[in-house]
Amino acid sequence: MAELTWEPPPPPPFPQYCNEQSCTPSQHSIIQRSPHSNNKTLPLFTDWASCSTCHRLSISWQDITNHQPLHFTLSLTTKHLTVMLHYPPSIMSIITRFILFVVIALAMRTHTQDVQACTVGFYKKTCPKAEAIVRTVVSKAISRDRGLGAGLLRLHFHDCFVQGCDGSVLLDSTPSTKAEKDSAPNLSLRGFEVIDEAKLQLEASCPNVVSCADIVAFAARDSVHLLGGPFWQVPAGRRDGMVSDASLALSNLPAPFFNVKQLTHSFGLKGLTQDDMVTLSGAHTVGVAHCSSFQRRLYNFSSTSALDPTLDEELVEQLKQVCPPPRLDSRIGADPSVNLDLRTPSMFDNAYYYNIELGQGLLQSDEALYSDPVTSKTIKSHAYSQQSWSNKFKLAMIKMSLIEVKTEDAGEIRANCHVINSNY
């Protein structure tokens, strides 16, 4: 018995919200040497067309040599389709092939139907005012404090990168579990009260219908738009997760001292490309970072240089005034914050990219993007054209918002975003 493991190749770049045209077919072949056929190769071709966000998948298999009759055993997990080829051979009839095709198609359908459930206008019938309610709440919050818009956008990112976009970042710790929101990278998250207010109003309007995860996705979109950025349609239908684990936040969220390779890897694990990563990082055009997130660049950068040499000199002086050396800071626990974008701190524009070109990216991970030939090219192009970045940002946000979405029994509609229903 030989084992052949097939992992779907990365989907093609995601051009626009799912439709048939956006699913580009591609062909991949898998060659497996047969131990019982004088080492003849047995090519299998699989044609598949996938839409990376909707995960609509069509698949067909063909034994094109026909030298060896085959018996297959299939198993499908979240990420892998495993095909076991059994020898010695028996007759591989057309009927068997047909059954095989049907099994794969059904398995794929079961596997992907959850993601297909994310659609634009998901609440049109069940809670027609859902998106309007969220928008009104977010709009009021942002008119009180524009920083909340930045907070809500980051909340969505931190939700999606840890066990998918399932509202797990909103769950409170329990006596037995430390939740994501209590892990170090999430301590500075803000905007939770805005989600609570939206949920309160939604439960009054249409109880048990709108998930916390969808509220977070709508709120992030509305924040970007209300801060002057683009608008996009959010596919909805996410269900809320029932687990929140602080250690998963630590291991899944990229750190502000990551280099390009590490950042690319971190986004790759979530099905996002390096280009998506550079495009989404433009979110740092709004909001703040606390001194603790970049202080190392000022005082303790490396064994050869206390100061990060890529930092603009004038910026260094300004930052040092706000962020004293950690050891000399007598104000225990004080951790002031600085605008991520020095030029237009609360406008959702492309200033982030020309800040980076000038050595004025606040986080080490931001400035690192200018040190790599490929990502620096993308930085330059986004700095040049706000419109083209803006268009790409929308698409990348939709892609991010569909990471490991839970539907059906894999999730629930929480009555209160802080606790799972069985504990409420």
Residues that bind ligand HEM (CB under 6 A): 147, 150-151, 153-154, 157, 188, 190, 254-256, 258, 263, 277, 280-281, 283-284, 286-290, 293, 340, 363, 365
Is 344 annotated as belonging to a binding site?
yes
Residue 132: CB partners within 8 Å, gap ≥ 6? none
Nearest partner of 148 among 72, 261, 227, judged by Cα = 227
Task: Report, in Å, the least distance between residue 381 CB and ligand HEM.
Answer: 18
Question: What is the side-by-side strand order in the sheet with 71-76?
Answer: 2-6, 81-86, 71-76
Contact 241, 164 (CB under 8 A): yes
Nearest partner of 78 among 50, 107, 98, 103, judged by Cα = 107
Nearer to ligand HEM, 85 or 283 (CB): 283
3-state helix, strand, coil in the chain (%, to 5): 45, 15, 45
Q: Which residue has the tokens 């509202």?
A: 167
Q: Is 158 annotated as catalytic? A: yes
Task: Report, in Å, the least distance between residue 150 CB and ligand HEM.
Answer: 4
| Catalytic choice (55, 156, 158, 382) | 158
Give 420: exposed, middle or buried? Use CB within 10 Å, 0-12, 13-18, 19+: buried
Is 162 annotated as belonging to a binding site?
yes
Is 411 annotated as belonging to a binding site?
no
Task: Report, in Å, the least distance between residue 342 CB and ligand HEM.
Answer: 14
In which element (H, E) is residue 5 found? strand 2-6
Task: Report, in Å, the least distance between residue 253 CB and ligand HEM.
Answer: 7
Nearer to ligand HEM, 34 or 279 (CB): 279
Long-range contacts of 264-269 (CB under 8 A, 24+ apart): 266/161
Task: Report, in Å, the least distance between residue 399 CB and ligand HEM.
Answer: 11
Is 329 annotated as belonging to a binding site?
no
Nearer to ligand HEM, 280 or 351 (CB): 280
Alpha-carbon gap, residue 152 to 143, rounded angstroms? 14
Nearer to ligand HEM, 259 or 407 (CB): 259
Nearer to ligand HEM, 85 or 224 (CB): 224
Q: Which residue has the tokens 């550079």?
A: 278
Q: Which residue has the tokens 């055993």?
A: 73
- CA-based radius of gyration for the chain: 24
- What residues does 59 pair with on adjacent strands? 48
Annotated binding site for substrate: 254
Residues with active-site annotation: 158
Annotated binding site for Ca(2+): 159, 162, 164, 166, 168, 180, 285, 341, 344, 349
Annotated binding site: 159, 162, 164, 166, 168, 180, 254, 284-285, 341, 344, 349
Annotated binding site for heme b: 284
